[in-house]
Amino acid sequence: MAPIATSNLKNFKPNEIRADNISKFDPNFTQNVIDAMGPKTKPRVRKLMASLIQHVHDFARENELTIEEWMEGVQLMNWAGKMSDDKRNEGQLVCDVIGLESLVDEIAFKLVADTSDSATASAILGPFFRSDAPLLPNEASIVQGVNGGEITYMHGHVFDLQTKKPVPNATIDVWQASTNGLYEQQDEHQVDCNLRGKFTADSNGYYAFYCLRPTPYPVPNDGPAGKLLELLDRHPMRPAHIHLIVMCDRYKPVTTQIFDRIDPYLKDDSVFAVKESLIVDFVDLKGNPRASLELEYNITLSPY
């Protein structure tokens, strides 16, 4: 590498350090691995794998990764796989704590939104979604036996991004953790499908149900994701949120989470899912014997 003139320092890129570091090692190694792909490799697989191999190798070279460090990574990956089952996806959670699921979600949202960013923003699905939540009528409650907590009347309209008019018949799939921070499938003391349900907006695009003001909770930290958080000197807490998937024929589906504005973990969500537009206000509700709080939340869908 040529010496860097002082006048060029403002254009100095980390890449130039990398190029220098790479030069210690076999300069053809990575290209040889990439070129080993055969002619029947699908174009998208070829692009993704060439890029993945380049990044993984650059990571190893730039940091002069030791055999022991690499093997610790392998063991962490294997541990994540062993811990995963139909109720827990630890590989996903490891990705979550390094922000990858939220980033992939942002990429998907940007590509869906194209030039517009006015549709309801998305957030990660998370590992606790179940596709078999019960269909419930509007005005029903998803709360089936919970200790403590504040019941919230959540309601609003589903709108079309372009016409600004209400969208009838959208499905709102909602799920949340209980007051102890556990989802029903993590907690044998909760009844099946506690705190989850699917609602259908009426002909005016209106939906309404009763749920809990959500509670902040830690992501499961007894496995490799927890180990990683410990190594990174980070807490496992997620700010209180309610999960939603809103779907309607002829509209792009939205998977999102909404966050309670007063939550102390809004600024340092352990999985980096918070966006300003997803922060909502729970307000006091008078005169409704079924709830002490109200949350009006409107959803905007982008047509295909």
* Positions 72 through 91 that interact with a copy of itself (CB under 8 A): 74-75, 77-84, 89-91
What is the C-alpha to C-alpha distance for residues 250 and 114, in angstroms, rounded to an integer?
17
277 sits near a copy of itself (criterion: CB under 8 A):
no
The 10 Å Cβ neighbour count of residue 26 is 9
249 sits near a copy of itself (criterion: CB under 8 A):
no
231 sits near a copy of itself (criterion: CB under 8 A):
yes
**Residue ranges in 121-140 that form contacts with a copy of itself under rule CB under 8 A:** 125
283 sits near a copy of itself (criterion: CB under 8 A):
no
∠ CA 144-150-156 to the nearest 5 degrees?
Answer: 85
Taking the complex as a whole, how short is the minimal distance between the CB of residue 286 and a copy of itself, in angstroms? 40
Nearer to a copy of itself by Cβ, of 98 and 285: the residue is 98
For 68, phi then psi, to 5°, come to -65, -40
CB-based contact 184:231 (threshold 8 Å) = no
Q: Which amino acid is at 177?
A: A
164 sits near a copy of itself (criterion: CB under 8 A):
no
Nearer to a copy of itself by Cβ, of 58 and 294: the residue is 58
> Quick one: which of 108, 135, 191, 283 contacts a copy of itself (CB under 8 A)?
108
User: Is 100 in a helix, a strand, or coil?
Assistant: helix
Taking the complex as a whole, how short is the minimal distance between the CB of residue 274 and a copy of itself, in angstroms? 10
As a dihedral over the C-alpha atoms of residue 246, residue 249, residue 250, residue 251, rounded to 10 degrees, the angle is 0
Distances (CA, A) of 251 to 170, 242, 257: 9, 22, 19
**Residue ranges in 4-33 that form contacts with a copy of itself under rule CB under 8 A:** 13-15, 24-26, 29-30, 32-33
